[in-house]
Structure 1
Amino acid sequence: MTRNIGILLFDDVEELDAVGPWEVLAYWTLTFPEDGYAVSMLSRDGKPVLASKGLTLGAHPSFADAPDYDVVLHPGGNGTRTLMRDPEHLDWVRAQNAKTPLMTSVCSGALVYAAAGLLRNRPATTYWGALGLLAELDPTITVREQDRYVDDGDVITSAGVSAGIDMALHLVRRLAGLERARAVRRGIQYDPEPPV
């Protein structure tokens, strides 16, 4: 039986928040199908979204057509400022949390999780520019400013943008083991050496 990973898309999503983890997870699931995972992008209505910097991203299923997920990944981006105040979206996040073994976020996706109550009394992180807002949304959160990602069992949050790649590799390690994660990292040639 295939286990499903869903990456949420919405208007004004930060491109790399969604596509960075997609690259890691799609490489893994396509290269190692024997691990039994599949990844898809979903949006509320199943239609494409216009991301923060103008890239159009296509979804696979809509909320209504989506399978049950083993992992849900909520990216960040400017669109989270609307979603964190959208009762319908917060209800959807809570419903996913009630039936999904592992909820993950990248960047300001953590703000949505905080607004939905998922991070109450937990350690978490987000994009550096949103750390203060994360603490304001829920003062019970132990904000981990220096961490690229924070794994708290059934919820994983990551810092901004490129940190989602690190979190996705951690996810592969957690779900399929260290050697598999190393193979994926090698396959996508992820070995950062910033020139600045």
Structure 2
Amino acid sequence: MSDGTRRRIALILFPNVGELDAIGPWEVLSHWTSRYPEDGWDLHSVSRDGAPTPCAKGLTIVPQYARDAAPTADVILHPGGQGTRPLLADEDHLDWVRRLSKEATLTTSVCTGALVLAKAGLLRGRPVTTHRTSLDLLAELEPTARVDREARFIDDGDLVTSAGVSAGIDMALHLVAKLHTVERARQVRYGIQYDPEPPV
């Protein structure tokens, strides 16, 4: 049960974000926060300007907030996708991520979102992972990071990073367990019928 204080999770959106990187965790976390409001958590999406955000493969998402109007978040989730590459040279975005991470108690990423966290200086000396095709780049961006090439996700206390695309769903279920209980995470998994059985 919640102590009465509402806590917030923010999903960061940006042009050419990977669809499943964002929507996979959103499905998990929105199921949790909407079906079990008594747990005390809320979820919102936020982008720099609040305008409709074109994703990497053609979907468009309308964020709920522009960054200057968004509530302070206890947990931030930075997805990956093709759009992370320009962000590595976008000091305005990197400063925003640094500020959000400082305000939050937990910083998380999906896929190449970890590259942005690395460029922002948030992964120094930490065990981390990302999409398998970007592991070398992650190590290059933050040489002190301990890059795990096998993990689906890595929990290092106030930092959780996950591997590519669909791994974000696993990480989000882990977040429900971390922020509430394993039993609640199992209820969410059952509710969204997440039982992977690849046909190939």
The separation in 1 between residues aligned to 2:126 and 2:77, in whole angstroms, is 18
SS of residue paired to 1:64: helix
The equivalent of 1:27 in structure 2 is: 31
Q: Deviations over 1:152-180 (max 9, x none)?
A: 11111000100000000000000110100
1:83 to 81, 87, 94: 87
The separation in 1 between residues aligned to 2:69 and 2:181, in whole angstroms, is 30
| Paired AA for residue 106 in structure 1 | V
The equivalent of 2:41 in structure 1 is: 37
Aligned-residue offset at 1:26 = 0.3
The equivalent of 1:63 in structure 2 is: 67
RMSD: 0.6
| Paired AA for residue 127 in structure 1 | H
Q: Which moved more, 1:94-103 or 1:14-23?
A: 94-103
Aligned-residue offset at 1:48 = 1.1
Q: Which runs of 4+ in 1 moved over 6 A?
A: none
Aligned-residue offset at 1:98 = 1.2
The separation in 1 between residues aligned to 2:75 and 2:150, in whole angstroms, is 24
The count of aligned residue pairs is 196
The separation in 2 between residues aligned to 1:53 and 1:114, in whole angstroms, is 25
The separation in 2 between residues aligned to 1:99 and 1:8, in whole angstroms, is 14
1:113 to 83, 104, 117: 117
The equivalent of 2:53 in structure 1 is: 49
The separation in 2 between residues aligned to 1:93 and 1:55, in whole angstroms, is 24
The equivalent of 2:189 in structure 1 is: 185
| Paired AA for residue 28 in structure 2 | V
1:170 to 151, 166, 174: 174
2:163 to 159, 162, 172: 159
SS of residue paired to 2:65: coil
| Paired AA for residue 12 in structure 1 | N
| Paired AA for residue 51 in structure 2 | K
Aligned-residue offset at 1:47 = 1.1
The equivalent of 2:144 in structure 1 is: 140
The equivalent of 2:103 in structure 1 is: 99
| Paired AA for residue 141 in structure 2 | L
User: Is residue 2:10 matched to residue 1:12?
Assistant: no
Give the gaps of 5 or more residues in structure 1: none
Percent of pairs with identical residues? 59
TM-score for both structures, normalised by structure 2: 0.97
Aligned-residue offset at 1:137 = 0.4
The separation in 2 between residues aligned to 1:125 and 1:72, in whole angstroms, is 17
Q: Deviations over 1:11-48 (max 9, x none)?
A: 10000000000000000001100001111111111111
The separation in 2 between residues aligned to 1:92 and 1:111, in whole angstroms, is 15
User: Is residue 2:77 matched to residue 1:73?
Assistant: yes
